[in-house]
Amino acid sequence: MEIFTALADPTRRRIVELLSRGECAAGEIVEAFEVSGPAISQHLKVLREAALVQVRIEGQRRIYQLNPQGLSEMDAWLNSVRRFWALRLDALERELRKPQDSKTKSNSKAKGIR
């Protein structure tokens, strides 16, 4: 998933965190980092291509903000993973809560012991 590749970089994660507080001009983003303007521009490009941020142009300024659609895609994936594990953990809990007698009988039958 391109979103997670984009977020693998700590600078890009920090940009996303910065934009979670509100939109910022490209220059404001550059000022928040000890990285060159061109390097931040490349990070912003990766985030745009992953649909995590969107940009609008106002005169000479590029204003960046989080893209709710890209974040929704990531959230949907995370929810599917959470559901998968919730079902598995619920099944494990049910198995662990079974009385010990039924587990012993079940294991004996499986091994052919009477």
The SS3 of residue 99 is coil
Does the global pTM surpass 0.85? no
Q: Is the pLDDT of residue 12 over 80?
A: yes
What count of residues does the chain have? 114
Per-residue CA distances from 107 to 89, 100, 110 (Å) = 21, 11, 5
Backbone phi, psi, residue 34, to 5°: -100, 45
- Per-residue pLDDT of 24-83, as tens digits, reads 999 999 999 999 999 999 999 999 999 999 999 999 999 999 998 888 888 888 888 887
